[in-house]
């Protein structure tokens, strides 16, 4: 079975949307909203990182970060494994990726949950020792989009794949449900040609509910209800109040229960203009690259390549020497093989 041109277009747009959101948020990540405004003004397009950028100083406009790199790494391993992800292989690949990044002088390394889990494995822990039992941050959600491309939105198929790709580093209800939300939104958009912003948000919240009690319990607001609340609350607000709501009330930190609902709230309010969603995410402060990357993956799957300005796509592809075509084909082969 061969993927239709429309399916290929949307899957490609999901992975490139992730990369574009990541690149838009690269120069603003880990900065306050106020500092972003002082340093860059309005975020209208890709920008060079300021020399004082705390994570990516002076990186050129269009550069991707760990969000895209880890997503592509996961996708490649998924294809190589025929749809399965071996925990030890994944751990070794993440560790090697960080070593290479550190050797290049990059400060954009593994996030706190992933780093703790990989460190435990390097010190002798096995996957059976549950090194991801404290992982609550958004690291699993930021890199999960390839799973949404590779597996249909049927929970019996999709959610075990989400858990397999996430539990090594984020084996908590918060970490798993955040990843489930993003994967389900991407997969639903690819499954249903009539999908809308409303339906992908509903799919995300329902999937998050399904993994809410999976893994280890850690205190924190449940992600499914927070997606519904944030997405409903933001819709009637004018633009300024909507952005204040996301930044000041929903939150944009690395915590899954903040950044994942933030991405879906922006989709709910501004989803008819996908590129605007990513620009807004990049300007809100906090974990800007991850919020924008998650939203970009979902909106790319929903709208296809027409969502992204041609000049922005060209810049991100050229700066990072990206060729997602072979990965898209491999992921869609997995998706169609299971049909």
User: In this structure, are residues 214 and 173 in contact, taking their beta carbons and an 8 Å threshold?
Assistant: yes
Indicate whether 306 pLDDT > 80: yes
Inter-axis angle of helices 155-170 and 87-103, to 10 degrees?
A: 50
Euclidean distance between CA atoms 185 and 167, whole angstroms = 19
Task: Give the distance from CA 241 to its chain's centroid.
Answer: 25
The CATH architecture one would assign to domain 5-337 is Orthogonal Bundle (1.10)
Nearest to 67 by CA among 259, 291, 277, 266: 291
- Specify which residues 31 forms β-bridges with: 286
User: In this structure, are residues 263 and 298 in contact, taking their beta carbons and an 8 Å threshold?
Assistant: yes
Element (H, E) at 185: helix 173-191
Per residue in 205-225, pLDDT (tens digit) is: 999 999 999 999 999 999 999
Which residues are annotated as part of the binding site? Answer: 65-67, 287, 289-290
- Provide the terminal-to-terminal Cα distance of the chain, rounded to the nearest Å: 9
Indicate whether 109 pLDDT > 70: no
Task: Count other Cβ atoms within 10 Å, centred on residue 156.
Answer: 7
Token pair for residue 310?
A: 């041609």
Per residue in 51-94, pLDDT (tens digit) is: 999 988 999 999 999 899 999 999 999 999 999 988 888 888 88
Average pLDDT of the residues in 278-291: 98
Nearest to 93 by CA among 110, 107, 112: 110
Name the DSSP class of 55. S
Which residues are annotated as part of the binding site for Mg(2+)? Answer: 65-67, 287, 289-290
pLDDT band at 118 (very low <50, low <70, confident <90, very high): confident
Euclidean distance between CA atoms 53 and 36, whole angstroms = 10
Q: What are the domain boundaries of the chain? A: 5-337
């Amino acid at each position: 079975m061969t993927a239709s041109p429309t399916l290929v277009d949307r899957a490609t747009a999901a992975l490139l949307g992730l990369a574009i959101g990541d690149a838009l948020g690269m120069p603003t990540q880990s900065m306050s909203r106020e500092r972003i405004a002082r340093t860059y003004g309005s975020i209208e397009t890709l920008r060079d990182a300021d020399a004082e950028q705390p994570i990516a100083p002076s990186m050129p406009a269009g550069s991707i970060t760990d969000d895209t790199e880890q997503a592509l790494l996961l996708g490649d391993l998924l294809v190589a494994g025929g749809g399965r992800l071996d925990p030890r292989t994944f751990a070794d690949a993440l560790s090697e990726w960080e070593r290479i990044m550190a050797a290049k002088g990059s400060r954009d390394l593994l996030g706190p949950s992933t780093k703790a889990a990989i460190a435990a494995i390097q010190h002798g822990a096995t996957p059976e020792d549950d090194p991801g039992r404290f992982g609550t941050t958004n690291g699993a959600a930021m890199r999960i989009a390839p799973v949404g491309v590779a597996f249909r939105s049927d929970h019996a198929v999709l959610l075990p794949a989400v858990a397999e790709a996430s539990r090594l580093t984020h084996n908590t209800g918060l970490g798993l449900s955040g990843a489930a939300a993003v994967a389900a939104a991407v997969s639903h958009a690819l499954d249903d040609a009539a999908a809308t912003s409303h339906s992908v948000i509903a799919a995300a919240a329902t999937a998050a509910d399904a993994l809410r009690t999976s893994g280890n319990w850690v205190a924190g607001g449940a992600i499914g209800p927070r997606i519904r609340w944030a997405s409903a609350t933001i819709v009637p607000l004018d633009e300024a109040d909507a952005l204040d709501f996301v930044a000041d009330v929903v939150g944009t930190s690395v915590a899954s229960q903040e950044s994942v609902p933030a991405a879906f709230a922006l989709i709910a309010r501004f989803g008819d203009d996908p590129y605007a969603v990513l620009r807004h995410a990049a300007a809100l402060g906090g974990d800007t690259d991850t919020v924008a990357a998650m939203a970009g993956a979902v909106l790319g799957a929903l709208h296809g390549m027409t969502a992204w300005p041609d000049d922005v796509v060209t810049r991100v592809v050229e700066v990072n020497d990206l060729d997602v075509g072979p990965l898209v084909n491999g992921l869609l082969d997995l998706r169609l093989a299971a049909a």
